[in-house]
Amino acid sequence: MTNDTVLGDEVLAMAKDLVAKIEAGENEEAHAVLDEMTKVRESLLYQEIGKLTRELHTSLSSFRVDTHITDLAEKDIPDARERLRYVVSMTDEAANKTLTAVEESLPLCDSLGNRVGEISESWQRLLRREMSADEFRALSKTLASYLASSTTDVNTVKSNLNEVLMAQGFQDLTGQIIHRVIDLVEDVENNLVGLIKVAGQKVDAPTYIADEKAETTPTGPPVPGVDDSGRVSGQDEVDDLLSSLGF
Amino acid sequence: MNKDMRILIVDDFSTMRRIIKNLLRDLGFNNTEEADDGSTALPMLQKGGFDFLITDWNMPGMAGIELLKHVRADPNLSKLPVLMVTAEQKREQIIEAAEAGVNGYVVKPFTAQVLQEKIDKIFERVSG
């Protein structure tokens, strides 16, 4: 708008000058004024075109970066968070399913074992002919009930073992999900490196900032290849370290 | 070793509490209770009646190491045997736990045998 006003004032002045020159019959001067008017117009036009081109270029390049970053921030990261939450709930479910099956099976195994022990004791007495007729009748009854219940119990244990077997399917599923999240993290890393490059900083290689504030802040299970330094490799090393401290 | 002793299991993961509880039951210890972090465990311990504390380290709220320090600072609990069962395995952490007065340190994942060994060792020393 300012340009328009400037253009208007300047051109109006020139136009008046042009009319005056023509009326005075100064043809050459009139041509010069006309040329001048055209130049003013062209230079303003080129300036505008130049500005528009620059803006277009900037928006196009930032748009390209922005959509990717925006996608990552708005969609992929929350997506990954959900995936990881799902992994937690899946592993929780599998562990509980397994534990329930084991908790149910162990007492059954105990009772099967105990009853076999009792029966085999009586059986030995029978073989040594130390058993009265009454005791033998009792043994027969015990045997019959044992045979009936052991079939049921063994079937229950077997179905619980199958339950445990099936629950282990979480490993495959969570593994796949975690691999997808790893890919996403790599993508985010590459984009951040790209952004830093665009911002004009020299980036040689991604460097990892140590995430451990204090030496004894809990960090959870160490991941092999990432959290190796300063850690013991297992129970034996813990025991060695403690015994070196006088334990 | 008294198989009826009252044991408090502290871990924020209920599955880990179940695993420890089942392992203890298999070893003949049936008198167990659970808490999901140090700030839940401490009042339970202060009420009295516990003979043994098994605790994780990394928990929201009060971490296991803080719980251990509180226990050692409390005249009524200072002698309570404490076994730490944790995935934390930095040397500095093990040393800190030892200095804070832990009686045993088991790193996850662990086996039933390791748990039994450490418990046996703790009570040998306590009674010996």
How far is A141 from A120, CA to CA, in rounded Å? 14
Q: How many angstroms separate the CA atoms of B53 and B70, rounded?
A: 13
Cβ contacts of B63 on chain A, cutoff 8 Å: 218
Assign A73 a pLDDT band (cuts: 50, 70, 90): confident
Tell me whether residues B92 and A230 touch, CB distance under 8 A: yes
Q: Looking at the complex, does the CB of residue A89 fall below 8 Å from at least one CB of chain B?
A: no
**Residue numbers in B near A231 (CB within 8 A):** 89-91
CA distance A183 to B121: 46
* Whether A86 contacts A177, CB under 8 Å: yes
What is the b/e burial string over A187-216, where b = at least 16 CB atoms within 10 angstroms of the residue's CB? ebeeeeeeeeeeeeeeeeeeeeeeeeeeeb
Using an 8 Å CB-CB cutoff, list chain B residues near A102: 22
Mean pLDDT of chain A: 82
Question: What b-and-e string marks burial along A82-114, b requiring 16 or more CB atoms within 10 Å of the CB?
Answer: ebeeebeebbeebbebbbebbeebeebeeebee
- The answer to pTM > 0.90 is no
pLDDT 10s digits, B74-88: 999 999 999 999 988
Provide, for chain B, the percentages of residues in helix, strand and coil under a 3-state DSSP scheme, each rounded to the nearest 5: 45, 15, 40
Nearest CA distance, B73 vs chain A (angstrom): 20
Say whether pLDDT at A225 is over 70. no
A218 vs B18, B22, B63: nearest CB: B63
Please give the sequence-ordered ranges of beta strands (E in DSSP) within chain B, or none if there are none: 7-10, 32-35, 52-55, 82-86, 104-107
Smallest CA–CA distance, residue B7 to chain A, in Å, is 19
Minimal C-alpha gap between A67 and chain B (Å)? 37
A75: number of Cβ within 10 Å:
10
Using pLDDT thresholds of 50, 70 and 90, give the confidence band for residue A66.
low
- The ipTM is 0.81
The values of phi and psi at residue B37, to 5°, are -170, 175
Q: How many angstroms separate the CA of residue A190 from the nearest CA in chain B?
A: 31
Q: Which residues of A touch B92 (CB under 8 A)?
A: 215-216, 230
Q: What is the DSSP letter of B51?
A: -
Query: Pick from A230, A234, A245: which is nearest to B107 by CB?
Result: A234
d(CA A45, CA A53): 12
CB spacing of B95 vs A96 below 8 angstroms: no
Distance from CA of A86 to the nearest CA of B (A): 16
Q: What is the pLDDT of residue A1?
A: 46
Report CB contact under 8 Å: B96, A102: no
Among the partner residues A216, A221, A245, nearest to B87 by beta-carbon distance: A221
Each residue's pLDDT, cut to its tens digit, for chain B (128 residues) gives 889 999 999 998 888 898 899 889 888 999 999 999 999 999 999 999 999 999 999 898 999 999 999 999 999 999 999 999 998 889 999 999 999 999 999 998 787 789 999 999 999 987 76
Q: Are A216 and B110 an interchain contact pair (Cβ–Cβ within 8 Å)? A: no
Among A27-31, A56-60, A155-159, the minimum mean pLDDT is found in A56-60
pLDDT tier for residue A210 given thresholds of 50, 70 and 90: very low
Nearest by Cα to B40 from B14, B4, B73: B14
Residue in chain A closest to B22 (alpha carbons) equals: A103
The CA-based dihedral angle spanning residues A106, A107, A112, A115, taken in that order and rounded to the nearest 10 degrees: 140
Q: Which residues, in sequence order, are CB contacts of A147 under 8 Å at separation 6+?
A: none
Task: Find the CB nearest A99 among B19, B65, B89.
Answer: B19
What contacts A214, CB < 8 A, 6 or more positions away?
Answer: none
C-alpha B27: how far from chain center: 16
Residue numbers in B near A230 (CB within 8 A): 90-92
Q: Which of B58, B105, B110 sits opposite A220 (nearest CB)?
A: B58
